Copies of this chain bind each other. A is one copy, B any other.
Amino acid sequence: MQHDHVLTAKQFSRADIETVLDRAAALDVRAREASSSEPGRNRSDDGARVGDRHAETLLGLLFFEPSTRTRMSFETAIKRLGGDVVDMGSVESSSVKKGETLADTVRVIEGYADALVLRHPSQGAAKMASEYVDVPVINAGDGAGHHPTQTLLDLYTIRERAGLDDLTIGIMGDLKYGRTVHSLAQALTRFDATQHFVSPESLALPPDVRYDLDEAGASVRSHTDLETILPELDMLYVTRIQRERFPDENEYRAIADAYGIGLETLERAKDDLSIMHPLPRVDEVDPAIDDTDHAAYFEQAHSGIPVRMALLDLLL
């Protein structure tokens, strides 16, 4: 990695992405030992092997808004590498309450840690923080901005399931507000992927994101209905439609129903279509799908561990 700070998925070249994903695959014992069912199967021989190098590493966790899943995933990753965390905990109990600036907070905490993982409600917070400290800053989500490790784990799952080239992927749901979707769509332009966006008009991809995709020469198309395009898809990425975006409950329900999927939805899909979802889901993906081979979303969540291990291993 030439980059000390990890601020946005946009900073990664195709080669960067492949370096991280290759390293992640090497660390992903779960995938390799999926047939094993004894307790302790998560133990990683590779983890032990890289571990010594990171035994002294402390990762500083600064979550200025809660994101339990992301925090646990980073914590697990560094611990599986043999390192440890020092966690600021909730903002409610921190100096932030006394009016301290983000610049001051990160300059104090860089004295405790070898790298900082920052989650913040304000767009640009991670970039700003990176300008004040010498240790690497990893953006774990900055409001409507970026969440690059989410993009990397999405790419990892797509590559494991269908490959990143010659890919036909559908991305469905809230495409307007979904940071996850914007970053993934942009990252996919580094590969030979065709992207089909499926959403109601009111939640369509913002013009600036669409513009960026077109500029990058991406093969993209938009739809208001999954029906016509479903049979072509190798992957379908479903996102949560947030109730709070809709003033009217009935309108929300109608949209949520139209852009959710069940077993019957999949009848016209390829046998090896894989369904992704960033989780948590509410009603978008029927639990009846969980036990089918289509379900890739738990695997996707789990892949956060080897992907973040790989990134940390390359950075530190």
Binds B, one of A101-109, A144-152, A193-201: A101-109
Please indicate the chain B residues that have their CB under 8 angstroms from the CB of A72 in the complex.
86-88, 109, 112
With contact pairs A76-B113, A79-B84, A98-B280 given, residues A40 and B57 touching in the complex (Cβ less than 8 Å): yes
A99 touches B66 (CB 8 A): no
A95 touches B57 (CB 8 A): no
Give the residue of B90, B101, B136, B279 whose beta carbon is less than 8 angstroms from that of A108.
B279
B93 touches A66 (CB 8 A): yes
A44 touches B68 (CB 8 A): no
Question: What's the number of copies of this chain in the assembled complex?
Answer: 3
Please indicate the chain B residues that have their CB under 8 angstroms from the CB of A104 in the complex.
279-281
B43 touches A57 (CB 8 A): yes
A280 touches B95 (CB 8 A): yes
With contact pairs A40-B57, A43-B56 given, residues A111 and B280 touching in the complex (Cβ less than 8 Å): no
Is A311 among interface residues, defined by CB-CB distance under 8 A?
Answer: no
Is A75 among interface residues, defined by CB-CB distance under 8 A?
Answer: yes
- Interface residues on chain A, size class: 35 or more
Is A58 among interface residues, defined by CB-CB distance under 8 A?
Answer: yes
Binds B, one of A213-221, A226-234, A298-306: A298-306
Question: With A40-B316, A43-B56, A111-B301 given, can you name 13 additional A-B contacts, CB distance below 8 Å?
Answer: A4-B39, A39-B135, A39-B315, A43-B57, A66-B94, A72-B109, A72-B112, A76-B86, A76-B113, A79-B86, A99-B282, A100-B279, A107-B298
Is A294 among interface residues, defined by CB-CB distance under 8 A?
Answer: no
In the complex, which of the residues A86, A101, A103, A315 has the most CB atoms of chain B within 10 Å of its own CB atom? A86
Is A114 among interface residues, defined by CB-CB distance under 8 A?
Answer: yes
Q: Which residue of B lies closest to A134 (CB)?
A: B37
Is A115 among interface residues, defined by CB-CB distance under 8 A?
Answer: yes
In the complex, which of the residues A71, A104, A105, A109 has the most CB atoms of chain B within 10 Å of its own CB atom? A104
A42 touches B100 (CB 8 A): no
A-B contact pairs, 26 of them (CB 8 A): A4-B39, A37-B134, A39-B136, A40-B56, A40-B57, A40-B114, A40-B316, A41-B114, A41-B134, A42-B135, A58-B80, A69-B94, A72-B88, A72-B112, A73-B112, A75-B86, A76-B86, A79-B86, A98-B282, A100-B279, A104-B281, A108-B302, A111-B298, A111-B304, A111-B305, A112-B302
Is A128 among interface residues, defined by CB-CB distance under 8 A?
Answer: no
Q: How far is the CB of A174 from chain B (nearest CB, A)?
A: 14
Interface set of A (CB-CB < 8 Å, partner B): 4, 30, 37, 39-44, 47-48, 55-58, 66, 68-69, 71-73, 75-76, 79-80, 84, 86-90, 92-95, 98-101, 103-105, 107-109, 111-115, 134-136, 279-282, 287, 298, 301-302, 304-305, 315-316
Assembly CA distance A68 to B75 (angstroms): 18
Give the residue of B58, B90, B281 whose beta carbon is less than 8 angstroms from that of A76.
B58
With contact pairs A57-B43, A58-B76, A282-B99 given, residues A89 and B114 touching in the complex (Cβ less than 8 Å): no
B108 touches A42 (CB 8 A): no
